[in-house]
Amino acid sequence: MDKRNRIIIFDTTLRDGEQSPGASLNIADKLKIAKQLVKLGVDVIEAGFPVASQGDFESVRTIAKQVRGASIAGLARATKKDIDVCWNAVKYAAKPRVHTFIATSDIHLKHKLKRTRQQVLKDTASAVRHAKKYTDDVEFSAEDASRSDFNYLCKVIETAIKAGATTINVPDTVGYAMPHEFGGLVKSLIETVPNSCKAVFSVHCHNDLGMAAASSISAIVGGARQVECTINGLGERAGNASLEEVVMSINTRKKLLKVHTSIKTEEIYKTSRMVSKLTGLNVQANKAIVGKNAFAHEAGIHQDGMIKHALTYEIMTPESVGVVESRLVLGKHSGRHAFRRKLASMGYKLNEKEIEKAFMQLKGLADKKKEVFDEDIEAIVENEVVHVQEKYKLQYINVTSGNKTVPTATISLSVHDKGRKERTVQEAACGDGPVDAALKAIDRITGIKCKLDDYKLRSVSRGKDAIGEVTVRIVPVSGKESFVVNGRGASTDIIEASAKAYVNAINRLLARTK
């Protein structure tokens, strides 16, 4: 692949992303995210703003010391002190970067910095030169570039490159630019600044008008080769360009854009979930790429199309971003086709009459609640349509267990075969623990091969004598069936509750496969 078409992904989740109102991460959280960002394949991690607080300094230093596989950048205003502190934090990295910035728009100069254009030019040169004493990898940002006077901006950038900046970042700090305008700005800067070929042009777009990802893509078309972005689009105010949107736009439209990144897209969803969990900021359901609904289809026409060919309504596969599969959400807009498929995926083998009966029940339920879950379908089918017959019932359980004995269980089940007299079957088995022994004894009686996929125990009342409720999830291992079945059982004896839950799951499994 042509190196000139490689887009450097600069992730600023830990710096600008952490500036999101409500987001706050401790050092351990930041370290965890930084390690995941390396797995994701980002090129640069902006780990924080070291001069901002002792905590920020510590976290940048810890990440610089412990994280390998990406450049580690720290942010610094264009002052000697900021740059010194920044360097002291990032210097432990295998590839440290100092990212210094100063505002260049007249609005910022007049009201915030109270400095003249000439003074800011001087500050730019001395800040970059100072950073350059420490490292070759110096990035310079012209804050509020999109609202700066073009000729003055060119002068500042030329000065920064002359002083040694190797990356020039053009921020749309307040998310004011329109995508075509911003792409045009980057293109004109590259064409006008005389030494522009000596630096990589970068962009950093905020999302105040919802244009951040679009403006970043437009800037790539204009010649930018680094994009600054965050996971889930976190960031100051309305956030920054979202990494997943930028990267998946590049991947999905590669023939048009003719650029590439080093991102392992299959890690996107996992990273998004981690960042959401650790920052406490939920991802909106309809967020592109990583929202809960990004690969969910509810309308009957869409579901029908999806079943026939996923390309009808999906421009990328959910697997490509690490989402296990598309969800056909059953709701009031769903059609019979999707429902039939759902029943089959859950292992139900129903005849046409039964399917129709269950479908009518589903529609009734979907009118009352927005989304119908697997548990709702189980309840409809098993209570209203097929009426689960309890083939097996727990009669007797005896378990010996302890830290110096091999756990052994003896189980008696009553077996009720249609048209035959009820009989009792008893078996015993040893196991790794009393639950394992009990379930093995049950397996011997039923002869059904299944894997215990999940096991949960919770107390449903208070005190030491509380009732324990066990839920199990089993997966049949024989044949080509691949669905899960849940079972539930309760008792003050948790081994008995486990056996009951397992027997319940097996009865439900038999109801599905008839």
Q: Cβ neighbours of residue 420 under 8 Å, at least 6 residues apart? A: none
Count the Cβ atoms, other than its own, within 10 Å of residue 285.
10
Q: Looking only at residues 425 through 444 of this chain, which bind ligand KIV when binding is defined by CB under 6 A? A: none
Q: Looking only at residues 198 through 217 of this chain, which bind ligand KIV when binding is defined by CB under 6 A? A: 204, 206
By a kind-dependent CB cut-off of 5 to 8 A, residue 143 interacts, out of ligand KIV, Zn ion, none, with ligand KIV
Q: Find where tokens 């450049």 sit.
A: 71
Angle at the Cα of 36 from the Cα atoms of 238 and 65, rounded to 5 degrees = 105
Residue with smaller CB distance to Zn ion, 112 or 258: 112
Burial class (CB in 10 A: 0-12, 13-18, 19+), 106: middle
Count the Cβ atoms, other than its own, within 10 Å of residue 481.
14
Q: Looking only at residues 16 through 75 of this chain, which bind ligand KIV when binding is defined by CB under 6 A? A: 16
Q: What does the block give as tokens for 50?
A: 């070291």
Residue with smaller CB distance to Zn ion, 16 or 378: 16
Residue with smaller CB distance to ligand KIV, 141 or 167: 141
Letters for 147-176 (x = contact with ligand KIV by CB under 6 A, - = none) are ----------------------x-x-x---
| Contact residue for ligand KIV among 59, 105, 141, 216 (CB under 6 A) | 141
Residue with smaller CB distance to ligand KIV, 101 or 359: 101
Quote helix, strand, coil % in the chain, to nearest 5. 45, 20, 30
Residue 101 CB, nearest approach to ligand KIV (Å): 4
Buried b or exposed e, range 312-328, using 16+ CB within 10 angstroms? ebbebebebbbbeebbb
Residue 236 CB, nearest approach to Zn ion (Å): 6
Q: Does 77 bind ligand KIV (CB under 6 A)?
A: no
- Of 174, 43, 47, nearest to 99 (Cα)? 47
Residue 357 CB, nearest approach to ligand KIV (Å): 59
By a kind-dependent CB cut-off of 5 to 8 A, residue 147 interacts, out of ligand KIV, Zn ion, none, with none
By a kind-dependent CB cut-off of 5 to 8 A, residue 101 interacts, out of ligand KIV, Zn ion, none, with ligand KIV
By a kind-dependent CB cut-off of 5 to 8 A, residue 82 interacts, out of Zn ion, ligand KIV, none, with none
CA distance 215 to 11: 17
| Contact residue for ligand KIV among 56, 143, 158, 267 (CB under 6 A) | 143
* Cβ–Cβ under 8 Å, residues 211 and 178: yes
Residue 207 CB, nearest approach to ligand KIV (Å): 11
By a kind-dependent CB cut-off of 5 to 8 A, residue 141 interacts, out of ligand KIV, Zn ion, none, with ligand KIV
Indicate the helix (H) or strand (E) that contains 410: strand 408-415
- Which phi-psi region, left, alpha or beta, contains residue 69 (left: φ > 0; alpha: ψ -120 to 50)? left
Residue with smaller CB distance to ligand KIV, 237 or 458: 237
Residue 52 CB, nearest approach to ligand KIV (Å): 12
Residue 199 CB, nearest approach to Zn ion (Å): 19
Q: Cβ neighbours of residue 468 under 8 Å, at least 6 residues apart? A: 457, 458, 459, 460, 490, 491, 492, 493, 494, 497
Kindly state the DSSP code that residue 380 receives in the 8-state scheme: I
- What's the length of the chain? 514
Residue with smaller CB distance to Zn ion, 281 or 467: 281
How far, in whole angstroms, is CA 186 from its chain's centroid? 31
Residue nearest to Zn ion (CB): 16
Strand order in the sheet with 468-476: 450-459, 468-476, 485-491
Residue 172 CB, nearest approach to ligand KIV (Å): 8
Q: Looking only at residues 89 through 108 of this chain, which bind ligand KIV when binding is defined by CB under 6 A? A: 101
Beta bridge partners of 240: 206
How far, in whole angstroms, is CA 285 from its chain's centroid? 12
Residue 157 CB, nearest approach to ligand KIV (Å): 14
Residue 383 CB, nearest approach to Zn ion (Å): 55
Q: Looking only at residues 375 through 404 of this chain, which bind Zn ion when binding is defined by CB under 5 A? A: none
Letters for 12-51 (x = contact with Zn ion by CB under 5 A, - = none) are ----x-----------------------------------
Residue with smaller CB distance to Zn ion, 127 or 294: 127
Beta bridge partners of 9: 227
Residue 45 CB, nearest approach to Zn ion (Å): 15
| Contact positions vs ligand KIV (CB under 6 A) | 16, 101, 141, 143, 169, 171, 173, 204, 206
| Contact positions vs Zn ion (CB under 5 A) | 16
